[in-house]
Structure 1
Amino acid sequence: MRILDMTQPIELSHIYTDVNILEKLTALRRRTIDELLSECGYDDFDRFGLGKVVEKRIFGTQAVEKYKKLIVLGKPGAGKTTFLRYLAIQCNQGSFLSNLVPIFIPLKYFAEDPNRPILLEYISQQYSGCDVTEDELTELLKRGSALILFDGLDEVSTEYQEYTLKEVRSFSRIYFDNHFVIACRIAAWEYTFDKFTEVEIADFDDKQIHEFANNWFKNKDIKSDEFIRRLKQNNRVYQLAVTPLLLTLLCLVYEESGSLPHNRSESYHEGLDVLLKKWDAKRGINRDPIYEKLSLKRKKDLLRQIAYSSFEEEKYFFTILEIKSIINNFISKIINQDDDSNISQEEIEKLLKSMESQHGIIIERAKGIFSFSHLTFHEYFVAKRIVSLIPQKEEDCNPSVSKDNQNSQRIKELRKLTEHLTNYKWREIFLLVSEILLDTSELFKLMQEKIANILDSKEHLQEYVRSANKSSQAMLGLFVMNSNLENKKFQAAVRAFFFDIDYDIDSERKLCFVLEPRTKYLTCGNCFTRIFKDVNTLEEGVILAQQYDNMITDSNLKIINAKSTDQIMRIAVNYGIQTKKLIKSNKNELEEIKNNFFEEDNFEEDKLKYGANEVRKIASKKLLSHQLLGISFKDFSKEDQEILKSYYYANNLLIDCLLQTDCVTSSQLRNEIFDTLFIQ
């Protein structure tokens, strides 16, 4: 097979991953929106994913064995053709249904044959090069000894559909004793075939994603484990991998560059580009003409409108009435004024069906309930919609509107976005908008303004921030700075560290590590101070952490190279046990944690995280914040704690927009952000 931007074909057996089958179609499930939200993990929005299905699955080969006449449905890029090809190869090699002879028929090519043969004649022509006569083929079919694989019923153009359907139905009735599998896109399926069972290809699960990556990178310099680790660093990108076509795209990109794109918006754009035009165009497939009046730009505009209208109301699923209403309003506005501006409900339904079947970006999750196929795409189109309302370049400006009014419009839209600054569900929108904007200066200034207002009129909370800032100054002398910018970033990182010194808000220390990796010594020194005897101050703990790294020769065991605070907790406990430095009252408990969760020969991410959290619980019993700040986060009311969390989160988001995206802003503003971070 050779797909997308592959420079050469690859053997199917080298990358094939078993597909899973749902015996009940997702679009026919009767679910409420609340039930769908629960299934997708709405309560933990960081892990929220629209690709999750909880129904029982069986292997694809099991389904073919179980049902003699099978219709396999799936979203675009779900792996339908690959599955049928795999069945043909396995059957041909005697590894699957070895008593049968496989016959693979791409229905698009059959339908477009200029001679308009019947199916038996067409198959006979394909086998003529193998010295198989039509009589021999007929005998084979009469005995029921064939596995007949009809691929791509949805790829047959409208003018040939009636003839093709008639031929497939007739052929399957005449030679009913054979095994049949028909593959079609799920939203394009509007037909009935007697005695055929309809099933659906499920999205890839974690195991399948790992297996596919292992197969793809086998015998290559790139390690699949590193690819998966990078993939999991961004849950939104990882969710794309549940679609085999998009997982293939991610593997191709990673193989070519050795990394996943830093610019996430470009990654999403490329994935959408594949679904919106490349996937069909490269295979020469023309689909439903009802959709052809909309240009690619208009299709994207419509998707943006659907995304924005629903996301503003925190709707990730929408009823058929809601989505039809959005489509109706959109189409009515773009229809030529000379035409009848009304669009019939039947045309709207056809348009919705075409959107679903052609691209799989909008899909039916349950009966009458739709969503974007991936939360990533939903968020991307929201961000594109916001940016589209902001004039960025001279050619974007309306010449009839003054520059002052256009500036006012830009500020208005950006200020409207910042109203969602502390809403975690909008986090990805801010990151994407930061990447897409040609200049983020105005956005970042408005974010700074909004952050400053979070603690407005809260003098006791402002004093807490000032105390953290004051205590942070003592740490700066322990580190050497090579530049003014490095010094600014480091000071900001240390202030962030002291703001949350007792692990109350961000146990991962993500903000600190993004600003300055050497804050890992602060994190480890902080742990030493709490679980080691004879380490009485944070300064002593930090110096000990630096000495540890100078002593260790294995780079994998150095604090500075730790990929997470979980690994730092592991280093601290292992070093404490090795040197017998642990406080006696914690010794037995920490040794048990090491034995159960930190064994080097049995490294598992989940076990490591659980063990690290147990260490944090022990460490946090000793409150350094009282000693250093004079007050602890825990001393504040629940309401004040939530305000402090929002303040920290908003600062973290600003830094992520600045440093974790491919944004464009002035160096002067960058320096100003570092100078004012966690300062009141």
Structure 2
Amino acid sequence: MTSQGLRASPEGIRAAKTALTDKTWSQHKLATALGITRQPVSKFFAGESVSRSCFVQICQQLGLSWQKVAGLPEDVAFEATPKVQFKHADLDTLVREVRQKRQDKIQDQCSTLQMLDIAQTVQLMEIYTDINVLEKITSLQWREISDLLKDFKSESNFNQLTGYKRQRKLPGLEAVSRHSKLMLLGKPASGKTTFLQYLAIECNKGEFQPNRIATFIKVKEFAEDAKSDNQFNLLNYISEEFLSCGVEKESTKILLTEGKLLILLDGLDEIPAEKVDKLTIQIRRFTQTFYKNQFVISCRIAAQKYRFQGFTEVEVADFDQEQVEVFAKNWFVAVALNSREDGEAIGNLFINQLHLPENQHIRELAVTPILLHWICLVFQVKDGFSLSPAKLYEQVLNILLFRWDEMRGIKRDRVGCNLNLLNKKKLLCQLAAITFEREDYFFEKETLLQMIADSLDTLEGIYLEANQLQLDWEAVLKLIEVQEGLLVQRAQGIYSFSHLTLQKYFTARKIVEISQSGKNLISHMTEKRWQEVFILTVSMLSNSDEMLKKMKQKIDLLVASDERLQYFLTWLHQKSSSVSTNYKAAAVRAFYLVCVEQSSCDRPCTFIYTSGYDLEYALVGNIAFDPHLALDEFLFSTVACINELDFAFEHSLNDALDRAHAFAIAFDEAIDLVVDPKLKQVLQKLKKQLPPIDSNLENFRDWWQYKGKMWGEQLRNILIKYRNIGYYWQFSEQQKELLRQYYDVNKLLVDCLNSAAYVTPRVRQEIEETLLLAIADIEKVRNSYY
């Protein structure tokens, strides 16, 4: 240092240029702010000698240490650096001593969790589930909508469309071990804070980074405690934090300088907008000054604006199936306060029910930790998933829209229009209805902004600031993306709803808002992707009579013009009516409809619902054993096996053996159930014609190829005579498809009937009594009412 002037070191110049960029200033603007000419500023950035006073002014204006920019020795350049030099052994001793002093504070800060709707705190280590991270940020990838649609094989894989399959997931702990400076990005409530607390606890125990001391800082609290610019200082904040644990400031400075801290900065997205720039500058300075330490910063993925030099960015991945199961099993012990044995048993029951086909919509939400917690809570209280989907989604929205932030005392910044909670929901309903109607699961940013603009114009009580319309639209998008995570960026400039099931829910809400009859929905009855929307809509209507009657009318018209299908439905009614059973007539008709479909294939096939008779189940629940239905089911199965045997012998001898065994079992079971002595006698006589199966399969095949068709004809004639089943219906492929559609929409109608918030008893009775009937039979039933 001389009176002749100072020069900026190469490192100092880089730091000064970064600071200038942070302020979005030019060199000319910096000179104007200082009240000097541009020449000394230019010389400063060129590394040339500048007068001491001018050098200091420039550094102060940029918020930099002039000693550091000048590249002076550490004992002079860093005010934070103590002059005392420690030997390695002495430093290790200091680390152990400070870790011991800090242990209780870290435990108090990080060992427990306050969970939504749970009165008591929960021990973090009892419920913690390891997280995975993605090394490539999905929203930064350059992919087109067509690329995303290639991965869209079914609705069940919607959450995996963010590129998870295209990159390897890395355990979170491994990511922290690999990178000394890590930016942990994630969607709202994805487990970022919990992970940082876990790191602090593990470090505190000496299990992770045993040569470092954990320092956990909630960025929101740091910003709140800084009442003035002078207090906006991370060094002072950490020093005071350590001092409260009996650690002298001098020791803290030594540890920082030597890189002995694991500094965890949680919730970069949680501070007010007016403090963002100051905080960003402070973090940048601090991480550059004390670069030897380990840093992890957490932030919501859409809220991150500034990229800190030297930091590697990773994204928290959604829970996979294994993580969901681990979390759930832990939850029913740690949160529900069950014994380990009982908790794991309930957890296994939860997991088994979660994976049932009808709970696909719940599985989609369970990939987010906060929602999985709430789903476990509902399961615990309701002894199952008995909460209606509409009520489930409404609670999910409340959690994401305000309750999660409210519980933690976080107030997010408002946008340039007064978008309250109700209007926010209306906006999402409008966006969902437009996009789902178009079958758009992904949409370009510009398209989305235009839809937001058009939708805001229709909402009551919304005003936009003059001359900032485009800014406001983007602000609204950012608000929904950052604060609630209900819209997410799937790739560069491509958005979607966070969950497909929520897009359907918002669509249903919009339909209910437009009309209490749901009339705009009826045209989509045969489209499977709309089925959940139908069920959600009727569950939200105050009275579903009109909508259900319109659905029934459309279903009946679907097959009304096909004479053969009308004849089939007439037989279906006659056959079902001849069976003495306590079940609803419609359920018995559904039973025989599936039996016919399964036995009509000329090759191995299954009906739409291979897991069972879904329509009859929806009507009456589990159908217990009934001798009349069981007999016909085994007889139908025998006919189906005959068709499958023909196909198998033509293509695969090995497969034919399995089919032959299934055929023999079904036929034997049927004979055992026969009560009519004449029928039993003719079936037993027919059975004697069959050669042994196991002794020589090739002999059985030869017999089958020569006599199997004739044997099958004899069986069919017997079934027609004695049981009124076994007909060759010979439906065309078009008729088969129409019959499948007919079954699907009847199943949808029954699901809606069971999910409706209110249906008058008369409408319910009329619908149930006329299900799966020919038009002529429907008229007879209706005429009986009048």
1:228 aligns with 2:351: yes
Residues 462 and 358 of structure 1, relative CA distance in 2, 3 Å threshold: same
1:666 aligns with 2:780: no
Residues 340 and 5 of structure 1, relative CA distance in 2, 3 Å threshold: closer
Aligned partner of 1:434 in structure 2 is: 538
Letter in 1 for 2:763: L
Instruction: Note if contact 2:131-2:319 (Cα within 8 Å) is conserved in structure 1.
Output: yes
Q: After superposition, give the CA deviation of every residue in 1:406-438 in whole Å (9 maximum; x if it has no partner).
A: xxxx4xxx3321100010000000010011111
1:646 aligns with 2:758: no
Please report how far the alpha carbon of residue 288 of structure 1 lies from its aligned counterpart in structure 2 after TM superposition.
Answer: 2.5
Aligned partner of 2:597 in structure 1 is: 500
Instruction: Note if contact 1:328-1:343 (Cα within 8 Å) is conserved in structure 2.
Output: no
Aligned partner of 2:522 in structure 1 is: 418
Q: After superposition, give the CA deviation of every residue in 1:612-642 in whole Å (9 maximum; x if it has no partner).
A: xxxxxxx9xx999995555456x32222211
Q: How does 1:180-219 map to 2 (within 5 A)?
A: 180-218=295-333, 219=340
1:150 aligns with 2:262: no
1:383 aligns with 2:508: yes
Letter in 2 for 1:75: K
Q: How does 1:477-516 map to 2 (within 5 A)?
A: 477=580, 479=581, 481=582, 487-488=584-585, 490-498=587-595, 500-502=597-599, 503-508=606-611, 509-516=613-620
Aligned partner of 1:518 in structure 2 is: 623
Letter in 1 for 2:410: I
Aligned residue among 460, 478, 491 for 1:366? 491
Q: Secondary structure at the match of 1:24?
A: coil
Residues 87 and 543 of structure 1, relative CA distance in 2, 3 Å threshold: farther
Identify the range of structure 1 (302-311 vs 88-97) with the bigger mean alpha-carbon deviation: 88-97
User: Kindly, what percent of the aligned residue pairs are identical?
Assistant: 35
Aligned partner of 1:298 in structure 2 is: 423
Q: After superposition, give the CA deviation of every residue in 1:287-313 in whole Å (9 maximum; x if it has no partner).
A: 222166101011001101110000001
Instruction: Note if contact 1:468-1:629 (Cα within 8 Å) is conserved in structure 2.
Output: no
Please report how far the alpha carbon of residue 256 of structure 1 lies from its aligned counterpart in structure 2 after TM superposition.
Answer: 2.3
Residues 337 and 139 of structure 1, relative CA distance in 2, 3 Å threshold: closer
Identify the range of structure 1 (278-287 vs 182-191) with the bigger mean alpha-carbon deviation: 278-287
Please report how far the alpha carbon of residue 540 of structure 1 lies from its aligned counterpart in structure 2 after TM superposition.
Answer: 5.3
1:246 aligns with 2:246: no
Aligned partner of 1:677 in structure 2 is: 771
Aligned partner of 1:570 in structure 2 is: none
Q: After superposition, give the CA deviation of every residue in 1:229-268 in whole Å (9 maximum; x if it has no partner).
A: 2222211110101111111111122122221233111001
Residues 50 and 672 of structure 1, relative CA distance in 2, 3 Å threshold: farther
Please report how far the alpha carbon of residue 136 of structure 1 lies from its aligned counterpart in structure 2 after TM superposition.
Answer: 1.2
Q: Secondary structure at the match of 2:749?
A: helix
Residue-pair matches, total: 580
Show structure 1 runs of 5+ residues with no match: 392-409, 545-581, 590-618
1:135 aligns with 2:240: no
Instruction: Note if contact 1:280-1:286 (Cα within 8 Å) is conserved in structure 2.
Output: yes
Aligned partner of 1:96 in structure 2 is: 208
Please report how far the alpha carbon of residue 102 of structure 1 lies from its aligned counterpart in structure 2 after TM superposition.
Answer: 0.8
Instruction: Note if contact 1:151-1:183 (Cα within 8 Å) is conserved in structure 2.
Output: yes
Distance 1:583 1:71 in 2: 73
Letter in 2 for 1:674: E
Aligned partner of 1:121 in structure 2 is: 236
Identify the range of structure 1 (26-35 vs 431-440) with the bigger mean alpha-carbon deviation: 26-35
Identify the range of structure 1 (85-94 vs 330-339) with the bigger mean alpha-carbon deviation: 330-339
1:71 aligns with 2:183: yes
Q: Secondary structure at the match of 1:187?
A: coil
Instruction: Note if contact 1:73-1:199 (Cα within 8 Å) is conserved in structure 2.
Output: yes
Q: Which has the higher contact order (CA 8 A, sep 6+)?
A: 1
Distance 2:451 2:271 in 1: 30
Instruction: Note if contact 2:148-2:161 (Cα within 8 Å) is conserved in structure 1.
Output: no
Letter in 2 for 1:241: A
Please report how far the alpha carbon of residue 499 of structure 1 lies from its aligned counterpart in structure 2 after TM superposition.
Answer: 5.1
Q: Secondary structure at the match of 1:85?
A: helix
Instruction: Note if contact 1:253-1:259 (Cα within 8 Å) is conserved in structure 2.
Output: yes
Letter in 2 for 1:382: T
Instruction: Note if contact 1:2-1:9 (Cα within 8 Å) is conserved in structure 2.
Output: yes
Distance 2:217 2:284 in 1: 14
Q: After superposition, give the CA deviation of every residue in 1:214-242 in whole Å (9 maximum; x if it has no partner).
A: 21123245521211122222111101011
Distance 1:177 1:361 in 2: 38
Aligned partner of 1:595 in structure 2 is: none
Over the residues paired in the alignment, what is the CA RMSD in angstroms?
2.9
Aligned partner of 2:20 in structure 1 is: none
Distance 2:256 2:465 in 1: 54
Letter in 1 for 2:570: R
Aligned residue among 159, 164, 167 for 2:279? 164
Residues 675 and 333 of structure 1, relative CA distance in 2, 3 Å threshold: closer
Q: Secondary structure at the match of 1:422?
A: coil
1:355 aligns with 2:483: no
Aligned residue among 121, 124, 135 for 1:23? 135
Identify the range of structure 1 (487-496 vs 347-356) with the bigger mean alpha-carbon deviation: 487-496
Show structure 2 runs of 5+ residues with no match: 1-112, 334-339, 600-605, 639-661, 676-689, 698-711, 775-786
Q: Secondary structure at the match of 1:7?
A: coil
Distance 1:262 1:337 in 2: 34
Letter in 2 for 1:465: L
Residues 383 and 338 of structure 1, relative CA distance in 2, 3 Å threshold: closer
Aligned partner of 2:44 in structure 1 is: none
Distance 2:235 2:434 in 1: 51
Q: After superposition, give the CA deviation of every residue in 1:588-616 in whole Å (9 maximum; x if it has no partner).
A: 99xxxxxxxxxxxxxxxxxxxxxxxxxxx
Q: After superposition, give the CA deviation of every residue in 1:152-189 in whole Å (9 maximum; x if it has no partner).
A: 00001112212211211111011000110000000001
Distance 2:463 2:770 in 1: 57
Please report how far the alpha carbon of residue 334 of structure 1 lies from its aligned counterpart in structure 2 after TM superposition.
Answer: 3.8
Please report how far the alpha carbon of residue 511 of structure 1 lies from its aligned counterpart in structure 2 after TM superposition.
Answer: 1.3
1:257 aligns with 2:382: yes
Distance 1:142 1:584 in 2: 87
Letter in 2 for 1:665: V
Q: Secondary structure at the match of 2:115?
A: coil
Distance 1:200 1:179 in 2: 18
Residues 65 and 457 of structure 1, relative CA distance in 2, 3 Å threshold: same
Instruction: Note if contact 1:488-1:671 (Cα within 8 Å) is conserved in structure 2.
Output: no
Q: TM-score, normalised by structure 1?
A: 0.80
Q: After superposition, give the CA deviation of every residue in 1:636-679 in whole Å (9 maximum; x if it has no partner).
A: 222221111110000010011112x2531012222212211110
Q: After superposition, give the CA deviation of every residue in 1:324-357 in whole Å (9 maximum; x if it has no partner).
A: 1111112233476997777532322222112100
Identify the range of structure 1 (300-309 vs 336-345) with the bigger mean alpha-carbon deviation: 336-345
Letter in 2 for 1:388: E
Residues 626 and 207 of structure 1, relative CA distance in 2, 3 Å threshold: farther
Please report how far the alpha carbon of residue 145 of structure 1 lies from its aligned counterpart in structure 2 after TM superposition.
Answer: 1.1
Aligned residue among 751, 754, 760 for 1:656? 751
Aligned partner of 2:641 in structure 1 is: none
Distance 1:208 1:107 in 2: 28
Aligned partner of 1:8 in structure 2 is: 120
Distance 1:586 1:242 in 2: 50
Please report how far the alpha carbon of residue 366 of structure 1 lies from its aligned counterpart in structure 2 after TM superposition.
Answer: 0.7
Distance 1:170 1:623 in 2: 87
Distance 1:57 1:74 in 2: 14
Residues 105 and 442 of structure 1, relative CA distance in 2, 3 Å threshold: same
Instruction: Note if contact 2:417-2:463 (Cα within 8 Å) is conserved in structure 1.
Output: no
Q: Secondary structure at the match of 1:139?
A: helix
Instruction: Note if contact 1:455-1:643 (Cα within 8 Å) is conserved in structure 2.
Output: yes
Distance 2:481 2:186 in 1: 11
Please report how far the alpha carbon of residue 34 of structure 1 lies from its aligned counterpart in structure 2 after TM superposition.
Answer: 2.4
Residues 84 and 670 of structure 1, relative CA distance in 2, 3 Å threshold: same
Letter in 2 for 1:451: I
Please report how far the alpha carbon of residue 514 of structure 1 lies from its aligned counterpart in structure 2 after TM superposition.
Answer: 2.3
Distance 1:677 1:46 in 2: 30
Letter in 2 for 1:507: T
